[in-house]
Amino acid sequence: MADDHVPGVACAPSPSGSPSLVSRVMRSVPRQGLRRTIENAAVAVEDALFDAVLGVETSAPVELDGLSISSPNRHLGVSYVPTRVRAFRMLMRRLGLPYGGVFVDFGCGKGRALFAAASHPFHRIVGVEFAPELCEICRRNVDAFRCRRRGRAVFEIVEADAANYAVRDDENVFFFFNPFRDAVMVSVLRNIDASLRRRPRRVWLIVNNPRDLEAAFRSRDWLMRVDEYAYGSSLFWIYSNVSTVSKTRARYQS
Ligand SMILES: C[S@@+](CC[C@H](N)C(=O)[O-])C[C@H]1O[C@@H](n2cnc3c(N)ncnc32)[C@H](O)[C@@H]1O
């Protein structure tokens, strides 16, 4: 899959077979610069600790081939790889989203982004996932997460094809980490649009690894790219229906 997890460094194996930390850093700095190298190291550390700290299992990638997905869009789906949690958290801090609201992760997999989003006081956190096996793991993870973190967030895992998910009129932050190809995204955007017509409101669409989906986003004239954020090897584009520069041009009010 084309994900944003471009390895920070190409490593020569150490005598034990795996590259040493020092050799990875030495190779990374000239290629990526010091800042990126430090960011990638911080990303790797936080990813490594995430599951252990929260008592969940979100790290291992899963190919879609062996899963019992019944959707006709299965060939347009991308395999499960978790979000880089540190990059996501840094982005959420930067965005300064309003309190409350509802976060929806289209293609939530095992739920890594849902748990990372729970640091923000959302009313509800929704994961949409079409693979039954991943939904099951995600629900188990929700139970485990609740045992460790007694926050107010209400989690909801919806087993569905994202293309058919009926966007509800209180949902306002939509997250996409390289989940599927353009054709599915076009349907998702149509469903968000329908909800906005029923209930105009300000929405944010956060796209991690955005380039493959750019055409779909351009097809909606109400969507503006309002921010871009890179951390380590992760790149996010943020779209909204309200420009942070000129709110008067916007079609919808917050
Ligand atoms: C790259 S993973 C993203 C995982 C998660 N969002 C995260 O950030 O940690 C892509 C996920 O999208 C799911 N997916 C792909 N196509 C889908 C569709 N049409 N409807 C729902 N889920 C889909 C895959 O099963 C996979 O779990």
Check if 64 has its Cβ closer than 6 Å to any atom of ligand 1: yes
- Beta carbons of 110 and 138 less than 8 angstroms apart: yes
Burial class (CB in 10 A: 0-12, 13-18, 19+), 201: middle
Helices (H), 55-161: 85-95, 112-117, 132-148
Structure confidence by residue, pLDDT tens digits, 139-165: 999 999 998 887 778 999 999 999 999
Any atom of ligand 1 within 6 Å of the Cβ of 91: no
Whether 112 is in the pocket of ligand 1, judged by its Cβ within 6 Å, is yes
Output the pTM of the full model: 0.87
Selection from 18-22, 50-54, 73-77, 152-156 with the highest mean pLDDT: 73-77
DSSP string, 178-236: S-B-HHHHHHHHHHHHHHHHHS----EEEEES-GGGHHHHHT-TT-EEEEEEEETTEEE
Q: How far is the CA of 106 from the centre of ligand 1 (A)?
A: 6
Dist CA 158 CA 108 (whole Å): 9
pLDDT at 244: 63
pLDDT digits (tens, 9 = 90+) for 91-118: 999 998 999 999 999 999 999 999 999 9
More confident residue, 134 or 3: 134
What is the 107 CA–ligand 1 centroid distance (Å)? 3
Which residue type occupies 8?
Answer: G
Cβ 5 under 6 angstroms from ligand 1: no
Residue 188 CA, chain-centre distance (Å), reads: 15
Torsions phi, psi for 155 (to 5 deg): -100, 145
Decide whether any atom of ligand 1 lies within 6 Å of the 195 Cβ. no
Task: Kindly give, in sequence order, each residue whose CB lies less than 8 Å from that of residue 171, ignoring residues fewer than 6 positions away.
Answer: 102, 104, 126, 195, 203
- Tell whether ligand 1 has an atom less than 6 A from the beta carbon of residue 85: no
Calculate the CA 87 to chain-centre distance: 10
* Superfamily of segment(s) 74-249: Vaccinia Virus protein VP39 (3.40.50.150)
Spatial strand order in the sheet of 204-208: 154-159, 124-129, 102-106, 173-177, 204-208, 234-240, 224-231
Residues 6+ apart with CB under 8 A from 95: 204, 206, 227, 238
The rounded Å distance from CA 78 to ligand 1 centre is 6
